[in-house]
Amino acid sequence: MKKLTKRTKDNKQKIEKRLYNQNEAIALIKETANAQFIESIEVHISLSIDPKYSDQQLRSTLILPKGTGKTKRIALLVAPEALTSKYLELVDIVGSDDLIETITKGELYFDILIATPDMMPKLAKLGRILGPKGLMPSPKAGTVTTDIDSTLDEFKKGKLEYRADKTGIVHLSIGKSNFTDSDLLENLMTVYHSIENNKPTGVKGRYFKTFYISSTMGPSIQLDISTF
């Protein structure tokens, strides 16, 4: 059995066995995010859904008003005739057939892949490479688009995709431990309202089961959903 460090033990002792409101939880999670690096702050939300049914699946996008604190590398896949020098300034990687060839080799030097609809047939054969890493563009994720400029602007502002895993849990980063309490609260509430507003049609009765917040190396804290 792995031995707990003194820091971990001290942090665990600060968490009471009760439900916390949002302000209490954020203040405490920042206090326990005391590793020797800037930790990410995450939420883990368990929902009363069974994703194996089509009417209980949850997948959507949102823009965190205060961002995630992470810089995402964006790749843009467009037809050769649409390649312009402007896109070279807006994204980290831009290409056409050459980018597809790079992906085929397994060289995925990006976090987000945006594509125009006309390039999607060429990407179909790369599903086994992109799919497992969550990088395959899709209209639902907002990564298949004809309006490249506005799409790039949204993702640069912190737009992100989320989905419930096979157990009905949504995992999302809402910022860093050096964010202000108010910034983390604003991001947290944005996540809550987005999930609430995208409630699957097949859900009956109670929707949210549990809502936890945690830092990369710290203990988790359960939030009182009734206070949202």
CATH number for region 74-156: 3.40.50.790
pLDDT at 181: 96
Name the token pair of 41: 């702050």
Which segments of the chain have a pLDDT < 50?
A: none
pLDDT at 2: 63
Tell me: the pLDDT tens digits for 172-199?
Answer: 999 999 999 999 999 999 999 999 999 9
pLDDT at 160: 86
- Where do the domains of the chain lie? 16-68+160-227, 74-156
**16-68+160-227 is classed CATH 3.30.190.20:** yes
pTM above 0.85, yes or no: no
d(CA 123, CA 130) in angstroms, rounded, equals 9
User: Do 16-68+160-227 and 74-156 share a fold?
Assistant: no
Residue listed under structure tokens 């597809």: 100
Task: Give the 3-state secondary structure of the chain.
Answer: CCCCCHHHHHHHHCCCCCCECHHHHHHHHHHHCCCCCCCEEEEEEEECCCCCCHHHCCEEEEECCCCCCCCCCEEEECCHHHCCHHHHHHCCEEECHHHHHHHHCCCCCCCEEEECHHHHHHHHHHHHHHHHHCCCCCCCCCCECCCHHHHHHHHHCCEEEEEECCCCEEEEEEEECCCCHHHHHHHHHHHHHHHHHCCCCCCCCCCEEEEEEEECCCCCEEECHHHC
